[in-house]
Amino acid sequence: MTTPAPQDDGAASHLKGMAVPELTLPATDGTSVSLNQPGLTVIYAYPRTSPPDGAALDGWDTIPGARGCTPQSCAFRDHFAELKQLGASRVFGLSTQTTDYQKEAAERLHLPFPLLSDSGLSLADALRLPTFDAAGLTLFKRLTMIIENGRIAHVFYPVFPPEKNAHDVIDWLRSRT
């Protein structure tokens, strides 16, 4: 089954140029992370990773852009060294899932960077990030932000196909040099 492509609904058009709020999010490496830091940060927001048994939510495949969180994370994993070489001081994945849930995915996928939890929706609310509801959960629509010195320099939205997102970020970073 082919997952329908998401359409640009304008829900992220306000983000470029915004200052990132002073708040911290729990990370799978046990730290608390502020995105309002010096340097260049790449943060990709995704709806959710499925549990190890692969069970998706009912109707998941009919939600445009929902499927593909694992391939997206694996692409960022596989291109992590290149992202660092191109100036990314930090790379993070972000979802509304709890840190405990995310720890399993980070370990299973051998991610060289932490996943951040916005389970309380503090960042989502502060930045008015695009979300959707599924099975009683509030989830991020897939987007990637490049944050430079605490300000959003670029936004990829909608992100499709998810497995190409890391390459698109690399192309954008290269275009700046």
For 68: left if phi > 0, alpha if psi spans -120 to 50, otherwise beta; the answer is left
In this prediction, residue 102 carries a pLDDT of 93
In this prediction, residue 54 carries a pLDDT of 67
Q: Is 46 helix (H, G, I), strand (E, B) or coil?
A: coil
In this prediction, residue 68 carries a pLDDT of 77
In this prediction, residue 111 carries a pLDDT of 97
DSSP state of 156: E
Tell me, yes or no, if 74 is annotated catalytic.
no
Low-confidence stretches of the chain (pLDDT < 70) are 1-2, 54
Give the distance between the most distant pair of CA atoms in the chain.
Answer: 44
Q: What does pTM read for this prediction?
A: 0.94
In this prediction, residue 1 carries a pLDDT of 52
In this prediction, residue 84 carries a pLDDT of 98
Active-site choice (12, 27, 69, 143): 69
The sign of the torsion formed by the CA atoms of 139, 141, 142, 145 equals: negative
Instruction: Check if the beta carbon of residue 41 is closer than 8 Å to that of residue 150.
Output: no
In this prediction, residue 59 carries a pLDDT of 75
For residue 58, the one-letter residue type is: D
CA 40 to CA 31: how far, in whole Å? Answer: 19
In this prediction, residue 16 carries a pLDDT of 98
